[in-house]
Amino acid sequence: MTYSHSVGGTTWRFDDLREVMAKASPARSGDLLAGVAAGSDAERVAAQMCLADVPLRRFLEEALIPYESDEVTRLIIDSHDAAAFAPISHLTVGDFRNWLLGEEADESSLKALAPGLTPEMVAAVSKIMRVQDLILVAQKVRVVTRFRNSIGLAGRMSTRLQPNHPTDDGAGIAASILDGLLYGNGDAVIGINPATDSTAGICELLKMLDAVISRYEIPTQGCILTHVTTSIEAINRGAPLDLVFQSIAGTEAANASFGINLSTLQEGYEAGLSQKRGTLGDNLMYFETGQGSALSANAHHGVDQQTCEARAYAVARRYKPLLVNTVVGFIGPEYLYNGKQIIRAGLEDHFCGKLLGVPMGCDICYTNHAEADQDDMDMLLTLLGTAGINFIMGIPGSDDVMLNYQTTSFHDALYVRQVLGLRPAPEFEEWLAKMQILRQDGNRLQLGRDLPEAFRRALEQQA
């Protein structure tokens, strides 16, 4: 089916819905690299106006990637909840935007709607929204998950404590863990990107994390961000594994480039459940995504990178994850060229994930060859905090010495919590107060000055 829209006497024609979606996307380098971007601002506006008139139900009738050739498409269509979709099934994309910005779209109605939305629907409406629209709608949505604490509650923002080390040195990792805990970081997860995928090495890191969490009774969870099959093998070897991690993408071919498919993820999910290590809930999957991953694997099928990213959230929500993290600027300027594009992408990802019922966090980051700097990250951090992000990253000095990229630091999390009146997960906050790491001062959390020397000394000995 072809689409068209006239602007100022010029009629723009688009071969199919996939082209309308791609050319309606705000400008970004990845779509230009893929040859799917609008050729001019005028064409982009025409595509956006055309998209606004598309009925939402069209996305159930015209698959951007064929049902027969992609298991992610099959998952999206086969799991669609028609009853949940019914209240908005008569709307166009533009009407849907207006409804989302209205009072009728509140926390309860958006939660009920989530199973009735497809990634393509939420990607489409995001393309015709301003930054303030993305923030306003996303902050209405709460996606709460639990393992050993409660993440995503109103007025809360959690952090992943990321104590990476270029050689997986135990002393260096433990020192970063201590530093992060003293800034109130770590309630989302203490998660290590390993320098090696040796199963034996992964098991040793898991034992170390478990020893710290168990000894000091920290209400959080640990994770080694290794391949899902390595996690399964670690479980088979009896390692104390809390969360099962995997990077995922929005097409079958892109996931194949990661060495996974839906069956592999299901196996990892079931292996994690068999551990029965959660005390408050069984949300135990941790997924990471990023705009451009499908394009970098030449597995995008001509679909724009933001829509491919939203499709990854359909993969994620099948496994009831604890955490989903868009590593927004990590893939590089080939996909998100500068700070402006990174900021927009981070807000889009958070908006789309939350509407789909996914517990979204963001690694607010950039690589050193991107046209971006820490001021851009401060802006995105503050905007996402306002939008109700579930969690962000906490890394010593904002500089990951193992992965070689720039992200948010321990004190950045403290900043946004103080400015916006946000607090850690309640169970973790209680532990921080007990350990005198953070104290309540009116409506603000302040770093404690009288950390028990025994706790400090014990953690240093752990290193």
Judged against a pLDDT cut of 90, whether residue 84 lies above it is answered with yes
402 is in an annotated binding site: yes
User: Maximum distance among all alpha carbons in the chain?
Assistant: 76
pLDDT for residue 415: 94
State pTM to two decimals.
0.95
On whether 194 is known to bind a ligand per the annotation, the reply is yes
4-140: which CATH number, 3.20.20.140, 3.90.850.10, 1.10.220.70, 3.40.30.10? 1.10.220.70
Buried b (16+ CB within 10 A) or exposed e, 136-151: bbbbbbbbebbbbbbb
Q: Compute the distance between CA of residue 99 and CA of residue 95 in angstroms, rounded to an integer.
A: 6
Q: pLDDT, tens digit, for every residue of 48-76?
A: 999 999 999 999 999 999 999 999 999 99
Rg for the chain (alpha carbons), in Å?
A: 22
Average pLDDT score over residue span 360-369: 95
pLDDT digits (tens, 9 = 90+) for 236-253: 999 999 999 999 999 999
Between CA 134 and CA 268, with CA 147 as vertex, the angle to 5 degrees is 90
pLDDT above 50: residue 444: no
Check whether 246 is labelled as a binding-site residue. yes
Query: What pLDDT, on the 0 to 100 scale, is given for residue 265?
Result: 98
418 is annotated as contributing to ligand binding = no
Question: What is the residue extent of each domain of the chain?
Answer: 4-140, 145-447
Q: Which of 197, 193, 59, 50 is nearest to 118 (CA)?
A: 59
Tokens 């959080």 locate to 220
Which position has the token pair 């892109």? Answer: 254
Q: Which of 288, 304, 214 is nearest to 255 (CA)?
A: 288
Predicted confidence (pLDDT) at residue 463 exceeds the cutoff of 60: no
Q: Residue 157's pLDDT is what?
A: 98
Is the Cβ–Cβ distance between 189 and 218 less than 8 Å? no
Residue 193, annotated ligand binder? yes
161 annotated as belonging to a binding site for a ligand: yes
Give yes or no for residue 452 having a pLDDT over 70. Answer: no
CA–CA separation, 311 and 289 (whole Å): 10
What does CATH list as the number for 145-447? Answer: 3.20.20.70
160 is an annotated ligand-binding site residue: yes
Residue 371 confidence (pLDDT) above 50 = yes
